[in-house]
């Protein structure tokens, strides 16, 4: 493919069409006319010898070529913006930045209350949007700017991403206070005699608890399977079911917390971001606050 010489503004248009999936909405976001966007798209199609977007009933769908270059386009635009504002000093108290995060519901419950309090006190104009993005899509979502940060297990290996460890937690078993099992400690036989709640967002498959039991040649009885960690304790509080979960979740409820009779690897959280935002001052500040909150340095 030839290397076209293009006005850099055309890449701004390309990014806007990619985000909005609609020429009219892209034009509104850029404060230009829709014919101007159409003209810019036509110039880029000719230069790249690719349609770039296909018009469908659900909007402008990017071609594989566009999907391949959008990460670098966004990274380049971010670097240009950072260069233009390099001398600016980031002031949290006046910032109106919006950060988009991906994390599971358990991490939301641990992180967002304390982080929201920090922002209210130090950066009241800053906003947070939290979504769940499947692990297989996180690298692309960070590269294309759909999200700014992701919190997940240390299972993502992408040279374009930077990461830092946020913290870890151990697993324990939760039983309501008047549960029929009244012993001080659980043996393996005790544990297997209980009926259990399993937490999994997938329709099938086992989680870390059942994987460890299988490794030991054991299997527990699952009576209820739920999608999210936050609802599981509510079920355990009103039934004779046992819940095996991270202690930071269990401590939030008035129930018994009993040590497990077998070892389970700790749950570990890592914070991920794209390398293009490594030196962004607002991103640096926001990352530091998440690390402080998860490490317990902010109450």
- The boundaries of the domain holding residue 55 are 8-84
Whether residue 175 sits in one domain with residue 255? yes
Whether residue 246 sits in one domain with residue 182? yes
Residue 149 neighbours by CB distance under 10 Å? 21
Q: Does a structural domain hold residue 3?
A: no
Residue 44 neighbours by CB distance under 10 Å? 22
pLDDT > 80? residue 299:
no
What single DSSP character describes residue 125?
Answer: T
Indicate the residue among 33, 59, 84 that finishes a domain: 84
How many Å separate Cα 269 from the centre of its chain? 11
| CATH assignment at residue 22 | 1.10.10.10
Sequence-ordered list of residues with C-beta below 8 angstroms from that of 272, at least 6 positions apart, any chain: 138, 142, 149, 150, 151, 152, 156, 161, 162, 163
For range 235-245, the mean pLDDT: 97
pTM for the predicted model, two decimal places: 0.67
Tens digit of each residue's pLDDT (9 = 90 or more) over 154-202: 888 888 899 999 988 999 999 999 999 988 899 999 999 999 999 987 7
pLDDT of the residue at 45 = 93
The whole-chain average pLDDT of the chain stands at 89
For range 252-262, the mean pLDDT: 95
pLDDT > 90? residue 210:
yes
Q: How many domains does the chain have?
A: 3
Q: Does a structural domain hold residue 175?
A: yes
Q: Does a structural domain hold residue 284?
A: yes
Whether residue 110 sits in one domain with residue 39? no
Q: Does a structural domain hold residue 89?
A: no
């Amino acid at each position: 493919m030839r290397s076209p010489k293009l006005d850099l503004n055309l890449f701004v248009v390309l990014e806007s069409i990619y985000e909005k999936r609609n020429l009219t909405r892209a034009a509104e976001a850029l404060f230009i006319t829709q014919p101007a966007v159409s003209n810019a798209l036509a110039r880029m199609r000719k230069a790249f010898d690719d349609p770039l977007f296909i018009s469908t009933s659900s909007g402008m769908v990017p071609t594989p070529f566009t999907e391949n270059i959008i990460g670098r386009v966004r990274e380049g635009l971010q670097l240009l913006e950072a260069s233009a504002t390099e001398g600016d000093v980031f002031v949290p108290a006046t910032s109106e930045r919006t950060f988009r995060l991906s994390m599971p519901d358990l991490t939301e419950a641990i992180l967002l209350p304390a982080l929201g309090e920090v922002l209210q006190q130090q950066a009241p104009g800053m906003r947070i949007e939290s979504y769940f993005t499947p692990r297989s899509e996180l690298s692309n979502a960070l590269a294309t700017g759909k999200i700014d940060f992701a919190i997940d297990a240390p299972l993502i290996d992408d040279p374009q991403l930077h990461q830092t460890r946020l913290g870890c937690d151990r697993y324990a078993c939760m039983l309501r206070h008047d549960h029929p099992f009244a012993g001080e400690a659980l043996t393996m036989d005790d544990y297997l005699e209980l009926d259990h709640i399993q937490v999994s967002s997938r329709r099938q498959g086992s989680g870390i608890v059942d994987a460890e039991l299988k490794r030991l040649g054991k299997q527990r009885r699952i009576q209820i399977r739920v999608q999210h960690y936050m609802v599981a304790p509510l079920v355990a509080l009103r039934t004779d079911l046992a819940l095996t979960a991270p202690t930071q979740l269990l401590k939030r409820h008035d129930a018994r917390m009993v040590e497990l009779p077998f070892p389970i690897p700790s749950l570990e959280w890592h914070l991920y971001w794209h390398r293009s935002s490594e030196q962004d001052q607002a991103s640096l500040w926001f990352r530091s606050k998440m690390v402080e909150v998860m490490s317990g340095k902010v109450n």
